[in-house]
């Protein structure tokens, strides 16, 4: 992804020029990956720099326009998976790429249980697709992952009785994935925010359409497989197998620097901006747990702070990763679960969030 245009003045005062300079080499390296992904497209839509070239209707646009930017990749520069055939555990464990295994025990997966069926979506696959349109237990769902925010969200992909199929727009809001609903027959496509869980531009935004967020658990493949021996895994795209072993975001994840504008950002605190967070709740309010605060046994609430509610007992810290597993089978009906970086959750949902263990 290429670096965005001039940042907001506040961002520059916090050292924005240093951010741009430090990430220049990483950005160039990622551009080579991106070029390889879209080389086969004769006429990609979107020039990677100007939002207007992507052809999406921005009437209305329900988010701050200055925070809506091009990612450096065209529309569908990352190809969403659609109804991939399921693999068994044996097939997933037997699959190889290069000289190694396709999945290793420490790989993180997004685990979903619906209608009595379990499925694990490997992040090493999702980093190259970001969206999987799937059906599990008879429920149509979209499983999404944005490496820029380390955000994992699963949605029921039915809105107003219509089953939607989502693609990767190539645009971002608050450094977060914007999906689009694929339309045919001259219908206008809308943009949907992964972490706002709703349409933010186009006809669906005008209609006020929102997505139902489903419960998930991000764990290692070893842990999920042990807990769910009947799990399946979506088969990867065989044309992409060699890419699944590489991670173009490794340098980005290892730093505190951001590639794209985000507002508001949290004030400096004991938490680095990319600290992983797991949030539980829904439209009525959320409780967010930074993963490091879950590494120690649960304690009583701090003086003057709201208690974390019943959620803490449903979370299991796992040193491998580290990860935090959610007991989704014990959640009250309608409870949503989202994983994301601290900076991203703060920017999107701080106003309706109780932060557990954050000073």
Is residue 111 within a helix (H) or strand (E), and if so which, with residue range?
Answer: strand 108-114
Residue 42: per-residue pLDDT: 59
The CA-CA-CA angle for residues 150, 276, 11, to 5°, reads: 75
Beta strands in 260-307, from DSSP E residues, in sequence order: 276-282, 285-290
Q: What is the pTM of this model?
A: 0.87
Residue 29: per-residue pLDDT: 40
Residues lower than pLDDT 70 in the chain: 1-42, 297-309, 359
pLDDT digits (tens, 9 = 90+) for 270-328: 799 999 999 999 888 999 999 999 987 655 544 434 445 678 899 999 998 899 999 99
Contact yes or no for 228/111 (Cβ under 8 A): yes
What residue segments make up the domains of the chain, in order of their start? 1-265, 266-355
Buried (b) or exposed (e) across 285-311, using 16+ Cβ within 10 A? ebbbbbbbbbeeeeeeeeeeeeebeeb
Residue 298: per-residue pLDDT: 56
């Amino acid at each position: 992804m290429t670096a965005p245009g001039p940042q907001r003045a506040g961002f520059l005062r916090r050292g924005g020029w240093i951010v741009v300079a430090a990430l220049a080499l990483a950005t160039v390296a990622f551009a080579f990956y991106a070029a390889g992904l879209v080389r086969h497209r004769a006429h990609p839509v979107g020039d990677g720099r100007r939002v207007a070239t992507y052809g999406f209707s921005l009437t209305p646009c329900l988010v701050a326009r200055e925070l809506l930017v091009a990612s450096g990749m065209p529309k569908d520069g990352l190809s969403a998976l659609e109804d991939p055939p399921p693999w068994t555990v044996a097939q997933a464990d037997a699959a190889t790429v290069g000289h190694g295994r396709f999945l290793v025990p420490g790989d993180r997966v997004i685990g979903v249980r619906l209608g009595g069926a379990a499925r694990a979506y490997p992040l090493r696959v999702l980093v190259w697709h970001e969206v999987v349109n799937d059906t599990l237990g008879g429920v149509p769902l979209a499983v999404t992952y944005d490496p820029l925010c380390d955000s994992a969200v699963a949605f029921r992909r039915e809105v107003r009785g219509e089953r939607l199929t989502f693609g990767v727009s190539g645009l971002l809001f608050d450094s977060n994935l914007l999906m689009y609903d694929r339309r045919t027959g001259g219908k206008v496509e809308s943009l949907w925010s992964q972490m706002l869980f709703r349409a933010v531009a186009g006809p669906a935004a005008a209609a006020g359409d929102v997505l139902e967020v489903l419960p998930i658990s991000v764990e290692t493949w070893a842990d999920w497989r042990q807990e769910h021996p009947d799990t399946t895994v979506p088969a990867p795209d065989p044309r992409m197998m060699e890419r699944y072993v590489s991670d173009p975001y490794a340098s980005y994840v290892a730093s505190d620097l951001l590639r794209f504008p985000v507002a508001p950002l949290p004030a400096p605190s004991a938490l680095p901006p990319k600290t992983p967070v797991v949030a539980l709740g829904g439209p009525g309010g959320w409780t967010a747990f930074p993963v490091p605060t879950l590494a120690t046994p649960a304690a009583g609430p701090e003086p003057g702070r709201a208690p974390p509610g019943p959620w803490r007992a449903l979370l299991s810290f796992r040193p491998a990763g580290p990860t935090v597993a959610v007991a989704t089978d014990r959640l009250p009906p309608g409870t949503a679960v989202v994983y994301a970086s601290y900076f991203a959750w703060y920017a999107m949902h701080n106003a309706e969030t109780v932060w557990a263990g954050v000073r």
